[in-house]
Structure 1
Amino acid sequence: MSYTLSTPEKLALYMRLVLIAPWQILFSVFRVLVITQIRRIPASLFLVSAILKVVLGTLSSRQIQHLSPPTRETYKSWIQKKKAAETELATTNVLSYDIEFLESDATLLWVGSRHVAKKIVLFFHGGGYVAPLLPGHLEWCWRTYVAAGRETDIEVAVAVLEYQLCPEAKYPEQLRQAVTALAHILSRNFPPRNVIIGGDSAGGNLAAQVLCHLVEPHPSIPELVISEPLGGAFLVSPWLTQSTEDRSFLKNSPIDMLSAKTVDKSTKELFPDGHGSLSKLAFPLDRDRAWMRRLGSVLSHMYVTVGSHEVFLDQVEVFVDELRRAECTPSIRFDLQTKQAHDFILLESQRNEDGECIQAMRAWMREWLMKKI
């Protein structure tokens, strides 16, 4: 549900939106226009990113949730609009309002028909663990995974996890819900080799947490033993460490939607007071790297993508490099997108565009379905 602000909180939000945010947006847009000219990259999506930067940096998690439709409401609205656009599929289960309620307060929102699907994608949306699902996340799932299945005559369904947001839900609750969701899917007679997990930003972090849990179980979450490696995982602009001191933070913060300030804010929202060393378990690059040497036992293929103009660039490159140097790791495809910043696949999807990021992800999915990787 959306968060209801108190009267003083509403007044503070109104003052911020009217008196402060417009000037910040104006400055952010101007700065992006200058930098994109210097770097010789298309400005279009960077201008959207400039506005989001102000929203993420200026508003609190409560304010963001107050202004945003809840995840389930977004899902219902998207299904209705998609049915109107895809008239040939409007009466099929491929575009039905399909929700599954699981243990641990986890909920799966299905895109595509789980009743006929041969392959399943378990999707974790981004948003710093404070923002709900966006329509672009659902459009992305439709345009890449379901569409790739239709192109190869293999039915694919996407299970979008509606996990609980901060500040109500703290770490490791989101991991508990993600593991519950994966266990539920595997219990429905989908073999691990036919299942892919992944997500963007914080969702990419959550996917990485699940992989770590399969290798080294979290002490407060039941172990999940799988009979064979998962078919694949995709990490889009993943959040992999608490550190914000990488060179890419300094270089790309002026043009990216994220900054050290927004990342630190999400970190503080995620961890309860006194959580101590367990917080390191949430980030693959903060924990002992020994888990990487055993990743191949639970995962066959991994697709990692990051924009060369985003703050997470350095940490993602370190992550991929260390995985490749580890023994017994899965096959890895690393896609460095030279004209993009953080999570541009989501921005493309928000605009209903088949942009470079969407096309690259769909190509990877199609190759996986056809067993070419």
Structure 2
Amino acid sequence: MTSTGSTVTSGAGLPRSASVRAQIAAAASVAGLRQVNGLLPANRAGIWAGRGLIAAVMAAFGPTLPGTSVVEVRAGDLRGEWVRAAGVEHGERAIYYIHGSGYVVCSARTHRGLASRLSKATGLPVFLVDYRLAPEHRFPAAAQDVAAGYRWLLEKGYLASDLVIGGDSAGGHLALDLLLHNDRTGIVQPAGAFMFSPLMDLTLTLAEQQDRRRPDPMAPARAGRRLVELYTRGQSAASPRLRLDIAPGTPLPPLFVQAGAEEMLSDDARHLHEMACAAGVRCELELWPGRIHVFQALPLLVPEAGPALRRVAEFVRSALAENSVRERVS
């Protein structure tokens, strides 16, 4: 299922500069949200406060669309929820979405608004996996839950070719880990995968370099590193499930990556793109002007979220259509 070729889009079809609203939001966040996140301690109280703060931000600036259907899933140890925008029915195709926020902070509930907009844009139901969080559950708990969610969808009768995986931030790392795990274990790959501001370097060295050039509005890189370490503590940074590498010729599906050009994880997005292309995997990278992390989830704060999700929907439709044609030919 390998396809070669790559695209980096930093201007064609994208705004030339961030909207005024996005610029104001970034400046205000540097003075406010960044400072608060930077001060939160990595203890139980700090984690509780961080979870509440991010949940409030997501609810305020990326609320769930009216009329959205939400159905909780409890199947053994698997936790998640089906999210369908108004008018979207269950069918043969679906999106499998993996939320981010450092393996510690977010949940299916915090990303319900984003899932509802993805569902509306694509016309597909979205299954949000609610994987176990650190520090209560360390590596490889999240990765195991993500893999279990994918297997569950296949067991429910979905064909891999009718699924597209999505993920943001740490969810992008978990999405790529799932694709590589599928390759190692002989599990059929999905039609494609899209990622918002994917975290690739779990040491956050790349993020720290970018953060020095221009402070990230959401949190200092050191705060992100503290969260990630709650998940990876006791593990070698060189572990193949943590330092992900796409070997040449690895049969991965097409990838589509979006990030803010000046956000903390922009270099991580570039690294993923370069690594995928060097391995012969088709990967398109869009660097949107601005510096809000996972801006696609915050449409009331960053108006570029809507157009960005429409481009994701185009990728999803294209990936599913290409896979359908490929299967008919074979």
Q: TM-score range by the shorter chain?
A: 0.7 to 0.9
- Paired residue total: 298
Q: Which residue of 2 aligns with 1:166?
A: 134
Determine which structure has the larger helix proportion and give its number: 1
Q: Which residue of 2 aligns with 1:120?
A: 94
Tell me the amino acid that sits aligned with residue 63 of structure 1: A
Q: Structure 2: state its 5+ residue gaps.
A: 1-16, 326-330
Q: Is the counterpart of residue 262 in structure 1 residue 223 in structure 2?
A: yes
The match for 1:129 among 92, 103, 109 is 103
The match for 2:201 among 241, 247, 250 is 241
Residues in 1 aligned to 2:134 and 2:170: alpha-carbon distance in whole angstroms: 12
Q: CA deviation at 1:163?
A: 1.1
Residues in 2 aligned to 1:242 and 1:58: alpha-carbon distance in whole angstroms: 21
Q: Which residue of 1 aligns with 2:24?
A: 44
Residues in 1 aligned to 2:18 and 2:232: alpha-carbon distance in whole angstroms: 39
| 1:233–1:81 distance in 2 versus 1, CA, 3 Å | closer
Q: Which residue of 1 aligns with 2:174?
A: 206
Q: Which residue of 2 aligns with 1:316?
A: 269
Q: Which residue of 1 aligns with 2:292?
A: 341
Q: CA deviation at 1:101?
A: 1.6
CA shift digits 1:294-328 (9 cap, x unpaired) = 432xx32211111111122223212211211223x
Map 1:145-184 → 2, pairs under 5 A:
146-150=119-123, 156-184=124-152
TM-score, normalising length: structure 2: 0.77
SS of the equivalent of 1:300 reads coil
Q: CA deviation at 1:366?
A: 4.0
Q: Is the counterpart of residue 107 in structure 1 residue 67 in structure 2?
A: no
Q: Structure 1: state its 5+ residue gaps.
A: 1-38, 87-94, 151-155, 217-222
Tell me: higher relative CO, structure 1 or 2? Use CA pairs within 8 A at least 6 residues apart: 2
Residues in 1 aligned to 2:146 and 2:94: alpha-carbon distance in whole angstroms: 14
| 1:294–1:215 distance in 2 versus 1, CA, 3 Å | farther
| 1:310–1:69 distance in 2 versus 1, CA, 3 Å | closer
* Residues 170 and 269, structure 1, Cα contact 8 Å, conserved in 2: yes
Residues in 2 aligned to 1:41 and 1:251: alpha-carbon distance in whole angstroms: 21
| 1:44–1:98 distance in 2 versus 1, CA, 3 Å | same
Q: CA deviation at 1:45?
A: 3.0
Q: Which residue of 1 aligns with 2:308?
A: 357
Q: CA deviation at 1:243?
A: 3.5
| 1:354–1:235 distance in 2 versus 1, CA, 3 Å | closer
Q: Which residue of 2 aligns with 1:60?
A: 41
